[in-house]
Amino acid sequence: MSRPVLHLLCGKIASGKSTLAARLGDRDGTLLIREDAFMSALYPDEIHTLDDFRRRTAHLETALKPHITAILQAGLDVVLDFHANTRARRDWARSIVTEAGADAVLHWIDVPDEVCKARLRARNAAGTHEYEASDAIFDQFTAHFLPPQPDEGWTVETVRFDESASR
């Protein structure tokens, strides 16, 4: 019998994290947990800056950690549609994996900034996402982005941008 798996997503804003998360979450025995859905419901019109996001997401992490751990311990896989873009966020996820006795896969979505920004503008125009973000917000968040490092010990599945597939 295999251990449950926590799937994490690392990628810049509009890189395709939620799209991949939805695909992974469609698997039998898998629960998808979307950070943006929680944040927009709990903190409507309260997140305007990086500091706002950090404070609110810290509360959400504290509240959800025991639940995510229990879900994994019950034998379900979990897809966290939460960014795993910093060492601190990945360390938080590692603590869940360790406590739950689960396995983990870190899906790194490697997409160029200009492609992410174009997708972001299209998403903003479509109005299909909980949050609208400007290029300036993208740049502010991206300044803190750190791809997974070998010394972190994750099983990493890299999804690279394929320009020919986007045409």
Domain edges within the chain: 5-161
Give the max Cα distance, the chain.
47
DSSP string, 72-111: HHTT-EEEEEEE--SHHHHHHHHHHHHHHT-EEEEEEEE-
Domain 5-161: give its CATH superfamily: P-loop containing nucleotide triphosphate hydrolases (3.40.50.300)
Tell whether the model's pLDDT for residue 150 goes beyond 80: yes
**This prediction's pTM:** 0.88
* Tens of pLDDT, residues 19-36: 999 999 999 999 999 998
Q: Say what the pLDDT of residue 166 is.
A: 47
Tell whether the model's pLDDT for residue 165 goes beyond 60: no
Give mean pLDDT, residues 53-58. Answer: 91
Choose among 60, 95, 62, 99: nearest CA to 81.
60
87-100 vs 50-73: helix crossing angle, rounded to 10:
20
* Tens of pLDDT, residues 64-120: 999 999 999 999 999 999 999 999 999 999 999 999 999 999 999 999 999 999 988
Residue 125 binned pLDDT confidence (cut-offs 50, 70, 90) = confident
| H/E stretch holding 154 | none
**Residue percentage of the chain with pLDDT more than 70:** 95
Instruction: Tell me 45's DSSP state.
Output: T
Q: Say what the pLDDT of residue 77 is.
A: 98
Tokens of 97: 């994996």
